[in-house]
Amino acid sequence: MTDRLTSSPKGVTVNLKDATDTPQDARRGTLYGASAYAIWGVFPLYFNLLAPAGAWEILAHRILWTLLFCGAVLIVRRDYGWCRSVFGNPAMLGAVTLAGVLLAVNWSIYVWAVMAHHVTEAALGYFLNPIVTVAIGVLVLREKLRRLQWLAVAIGLAAGAYLTIDFGRPPWIALGLAFSFAFYGLMKKRLGASLSAFQSLTSETAVLVPVAIAVLVWVWLRGATTFTVDAPSHPLLLASAGLVTAAPLLLFGAAARRVPLVTIGLLQFVTPVLQLLCGVLLLGESMSASRWIGFVIVWVALLVLAFDSIQSVRTRRRLADAAEFAAV
């Protein structure tokens, strides 16, 4: 397997050289990956359980409890020597801060969308994310696309235009989620493989702590804090945000070491599918026939991207096998 680095939408940097090809590892990795994306997929149900907390209070608690959980794990592991390289390096700190801000924007939009009963539009954002990521690769990184990738982007643009007409406005929630995730992935690519998933999430939430504290103070001054409501169940649910945030990252990291990138790319669609099902079947959101058509157009673009990715991997493997045979 070739030595490549990739960054998932959730910000986990993966070295594909470490992946193994044994059937047992592949099955285990697929299970880990599916579990991670399934947890992300049922996030709407979890955030609904946090009512009556508002989106801003949930965001602040998610930042604080995620930092505490990740920090505790790193302390137990005695893995804190990297802190100086991040917080003592202005360039690295700036990049981490920007990544943290993009992460906070994404979390804010998503939590607000769930609490405001826009789960289906949020799901659309994660369907659009791969297409937006490809487009940013062209515009920002000057990457060259293959024909099928161009076709997928064109279909994605057509879907965006159709849904704008159907909504009567641009689908701001979906676009906000897609673009914030895509630019977050871009920042993770710029940061490279210098930080593990836990180190990265710890540093990104650490720089957001002042914002989280300010938000909690603001909520408290308005008399809108809910942390002491329905104790101990509601406070425990808010505190569980750290574990809920970090657990799928651990599962994803374990999966990425065991399965090919194509498998990870296909598994990521589990998340928006489950979010869509949660919104329509469990949270009672309605989807008109015209909106389903818009989603189908997006799915066609994703199928084209998935097919192109599979074909590309097969081509690289054939070339690698041919080169290895020629060298014998």
The Cα 103–Cα 200 span in angstroms is 11
Helix (H, G, I), strand (E, B) or coil at 264: helix
96 close to 191: Cβ distance less than 8 angstroms: yes
> For the chain, what is the mean pLDDT?
85
Could you tell me the CA-to-CA distances from 208 to 12, 57, 75, 115, 184 in Å, in that order?
19, 14, 20, 22, 15
* Structural domains of the chain, count: 1
**Regarding predicted confidence, which is higher, 326 or 2?**
326
10 close to 198: Cβ distance less than 8 angstroms: no
**Regarding predicted confidence, which is higher, 313 or 8?**
313
What is the CB neighbour count within 10 angstroms for residue 212? 22
pLDDT of residue 13: 45
249 close to 197: Cβ distance less than 8 angstroms: yes
In the predicted structure, residue 38 carries a pLDDT above the cut 80: yes
Rg (CA), the chain: 20
Residue 2 confidence class, pLDDT cut points 50, 70, 90: very low
pLDDT of residue 275: 94
In the predicted structure, residue 10 carries a pLDDT above the cut 70: no
pLDDT of residue 231: 86
159 close to 298: Cβ distance less than 8 angstroms: yes
Task: Write out pLDDT tens, residues 170-183.
Answer: 999 999 999 998 89
pLDDT of residue 193: 64
The Cα 276–Cα 279 span in angstroms is 5
Residue 192 confidence class, pLDDT cut points 50, 70, 90: low
Q: Which amino acid appears at position 115 of this protein?
A: M
pLDDT of residue 21: 55
- Tokens at residue 257, please? 């070491």
Look up tokens 């992300």; give the residue.
40
CA–CA–CA angle 223, 225, 230 (5° rounding): 120
pLDDT of residue 9: 46
The helix (run of H) or strand (run of E) holding residue 73 is helix 55-76
Domain containing residue 295: 5-327
Task: Write out pLDDT tens, residues 199-224.
Answer: 888 999 999 999 999 999 999 999 98
